[in-house]
Structure 1
Amino acid sequence: MKKKIYVTKPFLPPLEEFISRVEKIWESGHLTNGGPQHQALETALAEYLNVPHVSLFNNGTIALITALQALEISGEVITTPFSFVATSNALVWHKNTPVFVDIEPETLNLDPSCIEAAITPKTSAIMPVHCYGNPCDMKAIETIAEKHKIKVIYDAAHAFAVEDLHGSVLTRGDISALSFHATKVFNTFEGGALVCKTPEMKSRIDSLKNFGIEDELTVSIAGINGKMSEINAAMGLTQLGYIDGAIEDRGRVDAAYRTALNGIRGVKVLGKPNQTVSNFAYFPILIDDNYPVSRDELYQRLREQDIMSRRYFYPLIPEFPMFKDLPSAREENLPVATKMAKRILCLPIYPGLDDEDLKRIVDVIKSPAEKVVNQATTVAAE
């Protein structure tokens, strides 16, 4: 019986190193509320990512909601329909109205040419996503935001350690939000972070994630409990010592796919536009009309071979019940996103995915195309 191959698999550092850090937690008795592990991880991540300030959170969604609160975002927020639902859920939880605009066909990121027409007097922010780690057109987005005096919050859940020609993508906009969920390139079991530019903003974020507590007698703002525990921080510190190797191994898988899938009619391997440093978080392919079967049929064939690919992102966020009645959710408003959601398939990629499993995956993708070629050859011979 063949083993299942999942779309991703969390990287786990050596258990003995993690246990060593956990023992320090037992010795200190400090389990949460910004303990030594938490403080050490914030410092280490700011240095590793080359960013000014990092504030750790218990998960990426709470981090996004806190970013909205920190910047006092109200009313409408322009965002992408092509993302995990947490992006728009955070807006709804903060009582903002998502306004969806279409995406670019190459990067699958928010299309700057569609943004300005969606801005109204109620618009207070733009929340783009660096989809699959591909940097958004940040210059164009931020030029629009500056013109209209609105904020930019980047959902950078896919973009850990990603760089473009200007350095870390996390330093752009007003705030960037990261996810450290188990499925991400860098994980703390569950967790997240906000990256900001000034010590004043970090102080505000840190207060918001700790109930707004200022001191023993003072609660100055209505905060939330978004703190990362010492156990999660210990996992992050242990992970950080191995993250370069994990990303390098993801790059090996990425390169192997690109070689093996090259030339298969109807299969387009997406590039990595605007990236100078990639984290190889995802491996999306586009199935077009030249491929012998539909994307969904290929997805099913892979599942029948115990290969768990994912249709990231399908359905589109605007198709979910809580969003579908928004004026911006109409399909005709989102032609590129609608098309891409029906064609994109993300293949398994994670450190340790071996050559045998890669061959299993590629063989399933090649099979329908090879069958067509063989049939055509037979007809020609006759």
Structure 2
Amino acid sequence: MIPVTKTFLPSLEEYNSYLKRAWDKAWLTNRGELTIELEDKLKKQLQVPEIIITNNGTIPLQIALKLFGNNGEVITTPFSYVATSAAIVWENCKPVFVDIHPEYLTIDETKIEAAITQKTTTILATHVFGNPCNVDAIEKIALKHNLKVIYDAAHCFGVNYNNQSVFNYGDISTCSFHATKIFHTGEGGALFCKDKELNHKLFYSHNFGHNGPLDFHGLGINAKISELQSAMGLAVFNNLEVIFEERKKVVDHYNTALNSTNLSKMKIRQNTQWNYSYYPVIFDTEATLLKVQEALAYEKIVPRRYFYPSLNTIPYTKGEPMPISESIASRILCLPLYVGLTQNELEKITSIINKLLC
């Protein structure tokens, strides 16, 4: 089978070398030396002032919304993974959807102001498939209306925009270190924040609110990563150059081989150093997508309808119609992309698609 993705696994020997350090210290959680080391390496790699590693990629959104949401309305995108909207509802806020740009697939910044009301507290936008939102325009809107900005940057490890990490934009940015991501800790995530006072709140919020063992800064939850996860992160970190190189080869092949006029591709925003995180293709109709999906499945090739469905159509979000997002969601398919995908496999995938679209 050729799946849509495969977890990159470092050598077991490499992983075990980090695990042994945790075993020798008998320290498996509560920010041990592996976690501290990983945070330091990631700060340097990503060129960010601060990072707080967490035990998954959704809880950073929940913590950010706990601080900013105030049970109000959160303007967000209907085209994202379900965790984006689910976190809003989970934190007792109301998602207010704004439709997306048909080429960049990110929230359409020109439609945000029309959605702002007296109840709006926050803008939560997703950098879709690692493609940055129009962060400059969103920042201007947020400043004008005194709103906070959270970016769901789950797909953005290694993405730079305007010569700096995309994690440096917004009041808070979040990332996922899930096993399917470019960089992973098995299960994990991260919080990024440039403001020192706010970063302090994020830090104690992810550790039960602790101020030492017997005092508390304030309300908190357990979002700490374990040393077992950090060990995986350190082992994967050592292979980042190979990971990016191999993923770029796959993307380059798709870019060259898939040129049908019945298929379109996501437009990467100008001044972006992209990370080859996903390869979405958009068909002219849903019927075409289903035909391609069936033909690939017959050859045991398993792409993914990602993101589908449009989040405004999920009952608990109670969203208004979003025609562009709903249309894109019905016609978009992410093709297999991972380290280890062979040239023969790539040619097989693209040959099947091209034959059906000719």
What TM-score do the two structures reach when normalised by structure 2?
0.97
Runs of 4+ more than 6 Å apart: none
Give 2:340's aligned residue: 352
Q: Deviations over 1:150-182 (max 9, x none)?
A: 000000001111012241111011010000001
Deviation at 1:244, TM superposition (A): 2.0
Do the aligned partners of 2:106 and 2:127 also contact (CA within 8 Å) in 1? yes
Larger Rg: 1
Give 2:356's aligned residue: 368
Secondary structure of 2:39's aligned partner: helix
Mark the runs of 5 or more structure 1 residues left unpaired by the alignment: 371-382
Secondary structure of 1:213's aligned partner: coil
Distance 1:12 1:117, change over 3 A: same
From 118, 139, 142, the equivalent of 1:145 is 142
Give 1:377's aligned residue: none
More divergent stretch after superposition (335-344 vs 123-132): 335-344
Q: Give the letter aligned to residue 273 of structure 2.
A: V
Secondary structure of 1:82's aligned partner: coil
Q: Deviations over 1:79-116 (max 9, x none)?
A: 00001000011111111111111000111000011100
Deviation at 1:275, TM superposition (A): 4.8
Matches within 5 A, 1:128-167: 128-167=125-164
Q: Give the letter aligned to residue 98 of structure 2.
A: V
Give 1:379's aligned residue: none
From 9, 12, 15, the equivalent of 1:12 is 9
Secondary structure of 1:10's aligned partner: coil
Q: Give the letter aligned to residue 325 of structure 2.
A: A
Within the alignment, does 1:340 sit opposite 2:336 as a pair? no
Partners of 1:269 and 1:276 in 2: how far apart? 16
Q: Give the letter aligned to residue 322 of structure 1.
A: Y
Give 1:305's aligned residue: 299
From 261, 268, 272, the equivalent of 1:265 is 261
Q: Deviations over 1:211-233 (max 9, x none)?
A: 11112222332211100000111
Give 2:108's aligned residue: 111
Q: Deviations over 1:231-252 (max 9, x none)?
A: 1111111111111220111010
Give 2:46's aligned residue: 49
Partners of 2:130 and 2:210 in 1: how far apart? 35
Within the alignment, does 1:187 sit opposite 2:179 as a pair? no
State how many pairs are aligned: 358
Q: CA RMSD in A?
A: 1.4
Distance 1:350 1:270, change over 3 A: same
Q: Give the letter aligned to residue 77 of structure 1.
A: V
Partners of 2:348 and 2:271 in 1: how far apart? 29
Q: Give the letter aligned to residue 302 of structure 1.
A: L
Deviation at 1:265, TM superposition (A): 3.2
Partners of 2:101 and 2:80 in 1: how far apart? 13
Partners of 1:193 and 1:235 in 2: how far apart? 15
Q: Deviations over 1:13-67 (max 9, x none)?
A: 1211110000000000111111101111111111110111000100010111112
Identity %: 44
Within the alignment, does 1:87 sit opposite 2:81 as a pair? no
What TM-score do the two structures reach when normalised by structure 1?
0.91
From 208, 213, 220, the equivalent of 1:211 is 208
Partners of 1:71 and 1:256 in 2: how far apart? 43
Partners of 2:138 and 2:70 in 1: how far apart? 17
Do the aligned partners of 2:68 and 2:122 also contact (CA within 8 Å) in 1? no
Give 1:284's aligned residue: 280
Give 1:234's aligned residue: 231
Q: Give the letter aligned to residue 162 of structure 1.
A: V
Deviation at 1:185, TM superposition (A): 0.9
Secondary structure of 1:294's aligned partner: helix
Secondary structure of 1:218's aligned partner: coil
More divergent stretch after superposition (116-125 vs 157-166): 157-166
Secondary structure of 2:281's aligned partner: strand
Q: Give the letter aligned to residue 251 of structure 2.
A: D
Give 1:59's aligned residue: 56
